[in-house]
Chains A and B, each alone.
Chain A
Amino acid sequence: MADPWQECMDYAVILARQAGEMIREALKNEMDVMIKSSPADLVTVTDQKVEKMLMSSIKEKYPCHSFIGEESVAAGEKTVFTESPTWFIDPIDGTTNFVHRFPFVAVSIGFLVNKEMEFGIVYSCVEDKMYTGRKGKGAFCNGQKLQVSQQEDITKSLLVTELGSSRKPETLRIVLSNMEKLCSIPIHGIRSVGTAAVNMCLVATGGADAYYEMGIHCWDMAGAGIIVTEAGGVLMDVTGGPFDLMSRRIIAANSITLAKRIAKEIEIIPLQRDDES
């Protein structure tokens, strides 16, 4: 029996590379930068062009499939998450990095069927690292098989997170307070490279032990989520409950033990779900 999703995945890799070329080309030129929900939530014409290219290429080949993309949602399209084969697209994850030419910028493509992650592609296009994960088939970076780290002791852990794009005082206070609690345990350190998808892929490689964040969206996580789990890691809600793609919250960790330990330290930030409007 033919494997219909492998063909989709192969096509997704081709498209991610095309998007990567568009991004690298745009990095050579001056950019007009626009603001979305806050002065630190940025978008450029390239974000919009890349998403348009990805959407039209996929629709042409798979007209029956569904699509959820960051810039389509920003343009007013409603997020409706169903059992249909659904492509989750973040054309440029790390737009602030892109604007500044900080070299961690990713195209993220996640594919879900029956609301379950089937495959994910994260192409860190400046570094030229193609991360892939497919259910039951493993996770890879440029062909190298990925395995999460073995570290379950939080006092010897290296975490990745981001400060987020909100500049509201109360939100910042909670974000920094959570960071303070974790650093005080103590842990070995916290890193922030500026893109949720690449942060999660660093967990998949074992280069970091866990990632946590609140405020991100389904398109930030849908590609990298299965890369983490296929590398042997776990996804969890920041409360310690089950992971929910629309909740805007995640802990991606090497193990349940470490994930739960992190959850104990985290105070929740109130957020509107991606499937509410």
Chain B
Amino acid sequence: MKPSSEEEGELVQGVGPWDECFEVAVQLALRAGQIIRKALTEEKRVSTKTSAADLVTETDHRVEDLIVSELRKRFPSHRFIAEEATASGAKCVLTHSPTWIIDPIDGTCNFVHRFPTVAVSIGFAVHQELEFGVIHHCTEERLYTGRRGQGAFCNGQRLQVSRETDLAKALVLTEIGPKRDPDTLKVFLSNMERLLHAKAHGVRVIGSSTLALCYLASGAADAYYQFGLHCWDLAAATVIIREAGGIVIDTSGGPLDLMSCRVVAAGTREMAVLIAQALQTINYGRDDEK
């Protein structure tokens, strides 16, 4: 059973048009994981981007350069959207071309602190449709994958979302975005307060959007919401969640817009709608407007 009809596509077994791309993505995610695990034990030079809490290190750049250069070599006609390239001024536009959407280190703040929740995320889209996602939990060495029409897996184990529809029984995951001004903090905390008043079982914050979304895909949480994440945080994870039977939508309750910097994801549509209804908006602009 597929999560929604708009994801309908030929169910391919064996040879598919993007098999080679997928295998390369897996290998690169694993290699990146090795580099990150080694770098975790070393001293780091840390810079800030949009705020004092928006961090970047040399390893982010090194991993991204490795992934992008390898993919460019093998697939010279493909396009790229990557976090650090965007930070350096590259335009963030999703066209109809085969496009790789890459986060070299998701959880850079965790990486800097050695908090053991750090991921590499590689998403792939064609004709603006997400084809596959690969997310590697570097410290726990778990590889999450999802391919359109072919299911979602973690280290070979098939993933299935939770079927929970009752917010009063939900475990909710979220992340605070990089904005830390007083107004943003108030809305962020007020959103958490609303969920707790609705008697949600709990809210967890682990410092990585991609891994939080993978926990959702594995059924270990019932919902995720965030304002202030980017398309590279979302691309791979969206395929994985949908292939695990879950729902990924906009915080308004409308269809997901990969460039909108906001998301609600849940095991069921009922849960997703309940979360969306509870949230007040935090405005982060759009990835394709910067």
Interface positions of A (Cβ within 8 A of B): 39-40, 42, 96-97, 99-103, 127, 149, 151, 155, 158, 163, 167, 169, 172-173, 176, 179-180, 183-184, 186-194, 202, 205-209
Beyond the given pairs A40-B199, A176-B189, A193-B204, 6 more chain A to chain B contacts, judged by CB atoms under 8 angstroms and listed by A's residue number, are: A97-B202, A101-B219, A163-B192, A184-B185, A192-B204, A208-B115
Partner of B53, one of A101, A151, A186: A186
CB atoms of A127 and B140 under 8 A apart: yes
Cβ 8 A contact of A184, one of B182, B193, B205: B182
Q: Name 6 A/B residue pairs within 8 A (Cβ), A-sorted.
A: A40-B202, A158-B207, A176-B193, A192-B206, A205-B114, A206-B114
In the bound complex, residues from chain B placing their C-beta under 8 Å from that of A180 are 185-186, 189
Closest chain A residue to B195 by CB distance?
A: A163
Contact B189 A100 (CB under 8 A): no
**Interface residues as binary, B186-212 with A (CB distance below 8 Å gives 1, 0 otherwise):** 100100110011011111111100000
- Which of A39, A188, A193 is B199 in contact with, Cβ under 8 Å? A39
Give the A-binding residues of B (Cβ under 8 A).
52-53, 55, 109-110, 112-116, 140, 162, 168, 171, 176, 180, 182, 185-186, 189, 192-193, 196-197, 199-207, 215, 218-222
Whole-angstrom distance between the alpha carbons of A202 and B186 in the complex?
27
The CA of A272 and the CA of B103, in the complex, are separated in Å by 47
A169 in contact with B201 (CB, 8 Å) = no
Give CA–CA (A191, B53) in the complex, Å.
13
Query: Chain A's nearest CB lies how many Å from the CB of B86?
Result: 22
- B113 touches which of A127, A158, A176 (Cβ 8 Å): A158
Contact partner of B221 (CB less than 8 A), chosen from A100, A149, A183, is: A100
Tell me whether A96 and B205 are in contact in the complex, defined as CB-CB below 8 angstroms, given that A172-B193, A188-B55 are known contacts.
Answer: no
Given A100-B222, A180-B185, residue A191 in contact with residue B205 (CB < 8 A):
yes
Identify the closest chain B residue to A206 (Cβ): B114
**A188:B192 contact, CB within 8 angstroms:** no
Measured between alpha carbons, how far is A155 from B162 in the docked complex, in Å?
38
> Is A209's CB under 8 angstroms from B113's CB?
yes
Shortest C-beta distance, A14 to chain B (Å), equals 25
Are B53 and A188 interface neighbours, CB within 8 A? yes
- Residues in chain A near residue B171, CB distance under 8 A: 96-97, 100, 102
Shortest beta-carbon distance from A233 to chain B in Å: 15
In this complex, the member of B52, B113, B221 whose beta carbon has the largest number of chain A beta carbons within 10 angstroms is B113
CB nearest neighbor in A for B162: A100
Partner of A207, one of B114, B140, B186, B202: B114
Give Cα A176–Cα B140 distance, bound, in whole angstroms.
31
Contacts of A187 in B (CB 8 A): 53
CB-defined contacts of A193 to chain B, threshold 8 Å: 204, 206
